[in-house]
């Protein structure tokens, strides 16, 4: 009998504190916890009061990569680079997408008012 072992994927995790410009003058901190898989990713974002989540499925990532004429691996690397580490000279922001949702990098973020989500993100930073 032959046994086949599939290599278990070990996701990478990132924690990022972004300073988001508000009203053109002051900035507000937003914390982003990313979980990066080979073909998909999850984001948890909080401003300390509210939290949003994004679960980018393999199908969604494949479609968005195709829209940018990229292979999935390159798209994931680019998303991780910009959503896992603040890039100098880049401007970050969140816009109201209606129905209590926000959009970041054109991904719809589901709003969650669970304290657990905010605290899980902030644990990334040792808070």
- Which of 29-38, 48-57, 96-105 bottoms out in mean pLDDT, i.e. has the lowest? 96-105
CB half-sphere exposure, 24, CA atoms < 13 A:
0
Q: Which residues of 39-57 are buried (b: 16+ CB within 10 A; e: fewer)?
A: bbbbbbbbbeeebbbbebe
* pLDDT mean across residues, the chain: 76
- Mean pLDDT of the region 33-55: 88
Confidence of residue 125 (pLDDT cuts 50, 70, 90): low
pLDDT at 112 over 50: no
Residue with the bigger pLDDT between 106 and 29: it is 29
- Mean pLDDT of the region 20-43: 87
Predicted confidence at residue 111, as pLDDT, reads 42
Residue with the bigger pLDDT between 28 and 69: it is 69
- Mean pLDDT of the region 52-67: 90
Which long-range contacts (C-beta less than 8 Å, at least 24 apart) are formed by 27-34? 30/92, 30/94, 31/121, 31/122, 31/124, 31/125, 32/83, 32/84, 32/121, 33/120, 33/121, 33/124, 34/80, 34/83, 34/84
pTM score of the predicted model:
0.71
């Amino acid at each position: 009998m032959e046994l086949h072992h599939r290599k278990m994927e070990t996701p990478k995790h990132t924690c990022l504190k972004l300073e988001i410009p508000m009203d053109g003058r002051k900035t507000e901190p937003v914390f982003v916890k990313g979980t990066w898989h080979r073909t998909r990713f999850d984001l948890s974002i909080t401003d300390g009061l509210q939290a949003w989540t994004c679960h980018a499925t393999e199908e969604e990532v494949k479609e968005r990569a195709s829209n940018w004429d990229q292979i999935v691996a390159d798209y994931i690397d680019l998303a991780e680079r910009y959503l896992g580490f603040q890039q100098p000279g880049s401007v970050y922001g969140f816009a109201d997408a209606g129905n209590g949702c926000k959009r970041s990098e054109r991904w719809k973020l589901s709003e969650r008012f669970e304290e657990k989500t905010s605290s899980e993100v902030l644990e990334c930073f040792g808070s």
